[in-house]
Chains A and B, each alone.
Chain A
Amino acid sequence: MLGNIYIILKRETKGYFSTPLAYIFISIFCGLTAAFTFYLGAFLERGQADLFPFFESHPWLLVLLVPSISMRLWAEERKTGSIELLMTLPITTFEAVIGKYLAAWVMIAIALALTFPMWITVNILGNPDNGVVMSSYLGSWLLAGQFLAIGSALSAMTKNQVIAFVISTAACFLFVMSGVEAVTGAIEGLVPNYVISIFSSMSSLDHFYEFVKGVIDLRSLLFYFTSIIFWLLLNIIIINIKKAA
């Protein structure tokens, strides 16, 4: 089982790096995070030796950039017909879903790792808490992992990549916004309080900020992992339902 997952992962990763896709994604991600940090986050003007302005932009960038990776995961296989080849090879749907998912997640990890000049810069300028930086990176990667799982599942529903992109972005956006006070405030009074607290506890943003504060909370870890597992299970179910449809 691990063997097949690794074979799929290897093939997918080669696919990313044999086309411009990986290079463009990584360049855009690094470029935009830097731009957000210096211009919108006023990194230098703040006079504080931390990477908060850098990580603050991540949820909003990932909402757009992760679906641009995940949209092709299954929609493209359907479009080109290669899914028929893949699913008639002696592998399980589980192995295919996990292998493809991990390959994309690894690529995002590489993109995050390549923002290391930010980390070097802040260490030259001052003495940041590097533990906080590490937990922030972890939070960002988990957040991306959640968006990727959502996008992968939704991509399995269609062979149109544009549709996959739009609905994935909307779904990820919803998970981010459910923690924003303007949104929870708007439904306050309309629904019982416990609904609001469930709603806002589903917020990817709140859990992400725990990591950015340097807190690796078990509840936040659980939140991301259960969310990823849930969406990947859904992904497997969608593919198997389409097989019977």
Chain B
Amino acid sequence: MENRIILDSLYKSFGELQAVNNVSMTVEVGEILGFIGPNGSGKSTTMKMATGYLKADSGTSTVCGVNMEINPKEAKKLIGYLPEGAPAYGEMTTIGFLNFIADIRGYYGKKRAIQIDKAVERARIKHVLHQQIDTLSKGYKRRVGLSQAIMHEPKILILDEPTDGLDPNQKHHVRELITEISKTTAIIVSTHILEEVDAVCSSVLLINKGNVVLNGSSSELRSKVESNNSIMIKIDPKHSEDLKRLLLTISSISKIDVLNETESNVNINVYPKENRVILTEVAKIIADQKFPVKDIYQNHIALDEAFRKLTV
């Protein structure tokens, strides 16, 4: 059996709006794909099609070799899914809800108790077992949803914003849990918290207005922004022309901007070609000529900025 989920050329429109426009991805067991994009970019819609809740206009979702449209019941058995907002039956107690899920997943007897215990343990919801779900805090509700999704130890796990609204401790725990599970599971996790991508994901898929903008690693995402690894130098204006002239002799520089000119200070921004690290070359010129620089630093771009530049 194939241990992967393949989404192939998914399309979905709602009336005039093309919500998802040719989105494809493959995630293997052991991988965690961070699925990012602004609100309303089509992340949830894609996940709904992947899990068989929505029917795609065209394209397929194949779960461990099982086609979601042709054999939905089998495919759904292989998936664990946490929908956005972790919906549950609010009038039930946590344990009542988990019992229902265990029934649907076909567990009975000893195995049933083991699977429920394991899910409770992993999601750390032991002390809210007999509480009504409606009365739980947002964090606990999310964890109940998570325990539901992982109870049958699925090969494929799809989590729609699992850490949204959690406090930093809870976020940390959920990330730990995701990392732990990923050894035996292919995970797609949507988020708009970008630190999460660096913290847990092995690859990134960025979409905007339904289109795939980037499919790769988080460093590739950073490299999409030209100011990545650029060098900012603060210097007296009377030296700026000399410095600029010398810097332009470095072959791996693409361009130089001069910003914020005042009486006593000017900022020179040096952009490298293809995100190369040029700090050594720049520092050498400054040291050789003894330029009186007041400040120098390398811009290591935040994912947030890359995200904004690619999606605005």
Contact = CB atoms under 8 A, between A and B. Distances in A.
Given A81-B83, A244-B55, A7 B90 contact: no
Q: Which size bracket describes the interface of B in this complex?
A: 20 to 34
Interface in A88-131: 88-92
Interface string B84-118: 11011111100010001101110000000000000
Contact of A15 (B72, B87, B92): B92
A200 B92 CA distance: 44
Interface string B44-71: 0000100111110000000000000000
A14 B104 contact: no
A245 B73 CA distance: 20
B92 A88 contact: no
B18 to A, nearest CB: 15
Interface in A7-40: 7, 10-11, 14-15, 18-19
B209 interface: no
B76 A88 contact: yes
Contact of B79 (A4, A81, A85, A88): A88
Given A88-B52, A88-B53, A19 B91 contact: yes
B192 interface: no
A89 B91 contact: no
Interface of A: 4, 7, 10-11, 14-15, 18-19, 80-82, 84-85, 87-92, 243-245
16 contacts: A14-B96, A15-B91, A15-B92, A18-B91, A18-B96, A84-B83, A84-B87, A85-B148, A87-B52, A88-B52, A88-B53, A88-B79, A89-B104, A90-B73, A90-B77, A243-B54
Given A87-B53, A244-B55, 13 more contacts: A7-B103, A15-B89, A80-B90, A81-B83, A81-B85, A81-B87, A82-B88, A84-B53, A85-B81, A88-B81, A89-B101, A90-B105, A243-B54
The list of the 7 closest CB pairs from A to B, nearest first, reads A81-B87, A244-B55, A90-B76, A84-B83, A7-B103, A90-B77, A82-B87
